[in-house]
Amino acid sequence: MMRALFFDNDLRYRTDYPVPEPRENEALIRVTCAGICNTDLEIVKGYMNSKGVPGHEFVGVVERCWNQALEGKRVVGEINLSCRNCPLCKGGLRNHCPNRSVLGILGKDGAFADYVTLPIENLHLVPDSVPDEEAVFVEPLAAAFEILEQVKIGAGDRVCILGDGNLGLLAAQVVSLTGCALVVGGGHKEKLSILERRGIETILSSDITEREFDCVIDCTGSPSGVESAMKLVRPKGTIVLKTTVAKRDNIDMNVIVIDEITLVGSRCGPFEPAIQALKVKTVDVLPLISRTFPLSEGVEAFNFASGKGILKVLLKA
């Protein structure tokens, strides 16, 4: 048996949860550090009707694997488990497999536990120079890099990122690498100051007056985020939607048609550029850590993470 946070209408800490048994081509990973993100907070509000062990941002050590060369290695893991046989999988869209399970979100126990299993093909080695407290950010940082995979952003583009939570601060650091004219809007001066120290322009969302951005990226974590983005983007501009919430407001989509706005949904992203960014320090994640809790205080950690102005909360073994 192992320790785990278990959600089924309410979140509980358990010490009697079964250790997962790795299948063929899977690894058993001892979780050393995991991060609570906004999706986890939405899960306990009812997002995806998820049940089981949540948590999908993690770093750990491979303890058992048919590929013994991986045993003892530190790894992070991609969260989508595909069937590999459907047309989407065979067409290179495994993250969108209709038969997939998703770590800690859909049909697959997650990383808020002593152990987790994942297919070997989902695993990425962590360089020795990247400590656990930074490696745990690989998954959300990869989601930030996905923006650049989907939308061409260059030095002449005017870009606005809405949201000063974890994802917004990560996305800002990634998008700033393009040299675009970037401004980040948020509601917390102390959070925005993290970006200002890196030379990134910020503004309180309430003070944004420009309405002609080429690209607006919604990282608000709020049901109203996309509506705010629609008010800021220029005609024929692009909105990138990163927010997932348990319930959405009704939105007048006529503006999307009338102004011919491109709406891009954006989810998981490439791990390798995220790992490289942490390795060479082009992205700094340590200022985003608000507090670290032991796994045994996971319920208290969730309550703390739900508080106003909190950034990343970590759980350590």
Q: Report how far residue 232's alpha carbon sits from residue 211's, in angstroms, rounded to the nearest whole number.
A: 4
SS3 54: coil
Task: Judge if 132 and 148 occupy the same domain.
Answer: no
Q: Read off the pLDDT band of 144 (50, 70, 90).
A: very high
Task: Judge if 14 and 125 occupy the same domain.
Answer: yes
pLDDT of residue 211: 82
Q: Report how far residue 33's alpha carbon sits from residue 49's, in angstroms, rounded to the nearest whole number.
A: 25
Task: Judge if 129 and 207 occupy the same domain.
Answer: no
For residue range 175-189, list pLDDT tens digits in order.
999 999 999 999 999
Tokens of 42: 């939405």
Tokens of 201: 């322009």
Range of the domain at 33: 2-137+285-316
Q: Is the pTM of this model over 0.85?
A: yes
State how beta strands 26-36 and 11-17 pair.
Answer: unpaired
Q: Is 257 exposed, middle or buried (0-12, 13-18, 19+ CB in 10 A)?
A: exposed
Task: Judge if 48 and 110 occupy the same domain.
Answer: yes
The answer as to whether 102 is a domain residue is: yes
SS3 204: strand
For residue range 82-106, list pLDDT tens digits in order.
999 999 999 999 999 999 999 999 9
Whether 136 and 313 have beta carbons less than 8 Å apart is answered as: no
For residue range 214-271, list pLDDT tens digits in order.
999 999 988 888 999 999 999 999 999 998 876 777 788 898 999 999 999 999 999 9
pLDDT of residue 250: 78
The answer as to whether 276 is a domain residue is: no
pLDDT of residue 48: 86
Whether 136 and 58 have beta carbons less than 8 Å apart is answered as: yes
